[in-house]
Amino acid sequence: MSESVLGEEVSADTVSADEVAFGETLVELDGLTKHFKSERGYLAGLRFKRDGTTLPRPTYERTDVQAVDDVSFEIEKGETLGLVGESGCGKSTLARTILQLVEPSEGAVYFKGENLAELSGEELRSKRKDMQMIFQDPQSSLNPRMKVGPIVEEPMKAHGMFEEEAKETDKSAAELREERARELLEKVGLDPQHYNRYPHAFSGGQRQRVNLARALSVNPDFIVCDEPTSALDASIQAQVLNTMRDLQEEFGLTYLFISHDLSVIRHISDRVAVMYLGHIVELANKEELFENPQHPYTESLLGAIPVPDPRKAGQRQILRGDVPSPIDPPSGCRFHTRCPHLIAPEEYDLTDEEWNAVREFVRAVMRRTFEANSEEQVRERFFDGTHPGGDAGDVVDEAISRIVLDEWETANELLQESFVQPSICASERPAYFVEPEHGTGEHFAACHLHRDEPQTY
């Protein structure tokens, strides 16, 4: 063939009529939700008598694991949206739900204006040609019994590529696919002569480049990258990330890049979404989010980044407590159980100092992190000079009395009902758009600290 089998390079100035223009919405999520059913195992329900016969099987308790809950955002053509959050927050589940690898419980995923959640069978299969995925582990995502050339060709074969082109040339479709695979291997920084090697002959970074070549083989518009560099060392990470950026510019790709490494996210992303326990808590352009974080969880993530200068202590903010279970997530703002800025209930007239003391007391009681030998000891530890008055003080005194009597659960319930549940943080889910300080674009922050600020849309 006289021209490259890779076809023409895509640029912002050359967009066909049936394509999305650069800067316009390519992928849109509208209330996307994925809940998994959880139940006890089959054998766990069996009970045996001494003679070996079974007792009546008890009923199963079915619960929902709320992995992703009511997520909405847009991804523009040609951009990289970084998705960051702690392990288990739902990042990978969100990625697989977007690609319809798992069926969403509710909501919609629009790709080029078409709702993927309404497609099935051959319609969905044909759409997969435009959406690809790069997985986290470069070794387990490659078939060890296949050579890398056929691995790259596999998606092309699945979608019948080059069948029509072969009729117009003196080459077979298999020969054309092999040419394309060799060109792609070269594009991602590998030697085309490695076409006949097996995956075990490559390093981790090279295997991830094979995964990248495989994803590119069907000319996708959108690639989901699920922590593609987390298994690589730092020097190889940078090389793979630079290759991905070069290929994005050359072929007009759009990335959803998932990672828990903020340095990687900052290097490759245009915008960043922060996820916590199935919710998006902040979304803004890269510079705005790193320089002007507006959600306490984002602040804690950024504060955990190591400071390279040992003479600077930094301003690390350590989160207390564990991530709640997605089976029974907190109401309102899901971060309120760990938030250092929980808003005081309006019915209590507390100073900032008094509320800080009450908040620390409530969390310490919930986690039982102290011993209570006497009421005076507890008051001195938490309320030395800051004991609140009025109704709030009465609640605190009652809780302290219960703790000294070793009635921790009763004290915790009293404090939760009096101070936590009445807070707007626990009663309403926040969603605010704040004024950005760096660059342009919307800055979404799901924190009630912004409830009295002017909203921008």
How far from chain centre, in Å, is Cα 285? 16
Q: What is the pLDDT of residue 61?
A: 57
Whether 173 is in a domain gets the answer yes
Q: 52-56, 192-196, 329-333: lowest mean pLDDT where?
A: 52-56
- Let me know whether 366 and 251 are in one domain: no
Residues 380-408, mean pLDDT to the nearest whole number: 94
Sign of torsion, CA 404 410 412 416? negative
- Count of domains for the chain: 2
Mean pLDDT, rounded, of the chain: 88
Q: What is the pLDDT of residue 121?
A: 85
Alpha-carbon span 346 to 342, nearest angstrom: 12
Is the per-residue pLDDT at 386 higher than 70?
A: yes
Single-letter amino acid code for the residue at 24: E
Domain C-terminal end among 211, 238, 269: 269
Which range of residues forms the domain containing residue 413? 352-422
DSSP state of 193: G
Write out the two tokens for 278.
């199935």
- Let me know whether 257 and 370 are in one domain: no
- Let me know whether 110 and 249 are in one domain: yes
Beta bridge partners of 25: 76
pLDDT, one tens digit per residue, over 36-64 is: 987 655 555 555 555 556 555 555 556 78
Is the per-residue pLDDT at 1 higher than 80?
A: no
Q: 64-78, 308-322, 418-432, 433-447: lowest mean pLDDT where?
A: 308-322
Whether 181 is in a domain gets the answer yes
Is the per-residue pLDDT at 436 higher than 90?
A: yes
Is the per-residue pLDDT at 196 higher than 50?
A: yes
- Let me know whether 31 and 123 are in one domain: yes
Write out the two tokens for 166.
């072969």
Q: What is the pLDDT of residue 15?
A: 45
Sign of torsion, CA 309 313 317 321? positive
Whether 333 is in a domain gets the answer no
Alpha-carbon span 286 to 364, nearest angstrom: 36
Whether 6 is in a domain gets the answer no
Whether 305 is in a domain gets the answer no
Give the pTM.
0.87
Band (pLDDT 50/70/90 cuts) for residue 12 is: very low
Band (pLDDT 50/70/90 cuts) for residue 13 is: very low
Write out the two tokens for 130.
């435009």
pLDDT, one tens digit per residue, over 214-243 is: 999 999 999 999 999 887 888 888 899 999
pLDDT, one tens digit per residue, over 82-115 is: 999 998 999 999 999 999 999 999 999 999 999 9
| Residue the block writes with tokens 């051959």 | 122
Is the per-residue pLDDT at 5 higher than 80?
A: no
Domain C-terminal end among 269, 286, 305: 269
- Let me know whether 178 and 67 are in one domain: yes
Alpha-carbon span 324 to 181, nearest angstrom: 46
Residue 411: count other Cβ atoms within 10 Å of its Cβ. Answer: 25
Alpha-carbon span 387 to 377, nearest angstrom: 13
- Let me know whether 77 and 224 are in one domain: yes
User: In residues, how long is the chain?
Assistant: 457
Q: What is the pLDDT of residue 16?
A: 45
- CB-CB contact of 226 with 132 (8 Å): no
Whether 42 is in a domain gets the answer no
Q: What is the pLDDT of residue 313?
A: 60
Alpha-carbon span 397 to 319, nearest angstrom: 27
Q: What is the pLDDT of residue 319?
A: 78
- CB-CB contact of 66 with 276 (8 Å): no
Whether 346 is in a domain gets the answer no
Residues of the chain with pLDDT > 90: what percent? 70
Write out the two tokens for 356.
């800080």
Write out the two tokens for 223.
């690639």
- Let me know whether 151 and 247 are in one domain: yes
Q: What is the pLDDT of residue 299?
A: 93
User: What is residue 114's three-state secondary structure?
Assistant: strand
- Let me know whether 357 and 222 are in one domain: no
Alpha helices in 226-342 (DSSP H): 234-251, 262-268, 286-291, 296-303
Half-sphere exposure of 330 (CA within 13 A, CB side): 24
Alpha-carbon span 330 to 69, nearest angstrom: 12
Band (pLDDT 50/70/90 cuts) for residue 17 is: very low
- Give which of 362, 278, 364 is closest to 328, Cα–Cα: 278
Is the per-residue pLDDT at 401 higher than 90?
A: yes
Q: What is the pLDDT of residue 47?
A: 57
- Give which of 130, 136, 106 is closest to 118, Cα–Cα: 106
Is the per-residue pLDDT at 206 higher than 80?
A: yes
235-242: long-range contacts, CB 8 A cutoff, minimum separation 24 = 236/203, 236/204, 236/205, 237/264, 238/267, 239/189, 239/205, 240/205, 240/208, 240/209, 240/212, 241/267, 241/268
DSSP state of 106: E
DSSP state of 221: S
Whether 185 is in a domain gets the answer yes
Is the per-residue pLDDT at 395 higher than 50?
A: yes
Alpha-carbon span 180 to 32, nearest angstrom: 36
- Let me know whether 221 and 107 are in one domain: yes
Q: What is the pLDDT of residue 26?
A: 96
- Let me know whether 264 and 369 are in one domain: no
Q: What is the pLDDT of residue 315?
A: 58
Cα–Cα distances (Å) from 359 to 281, 344, 408, 424, in that order, read 22, 9, 16, 14
Listed in sequence order, the residues at least 6 apart from 423 whose beta carbon sits closer than 8 Å to its beta carbon are 332, 336, 342, 343, 344, 345
- Give which of 291, 359, 315 is closest to 282, Cα–Cα: 291
Residues 13-37, mean pLDDT to the nearest whole number: 81
Write out the two tokens for 196.
């006949």
- Let me know whether 136 and 247 are in one domain: yes
H/E stretch holding 209 = helix 204-216
Which CATH number goes with the domain that contains 144? 3.40.50.300
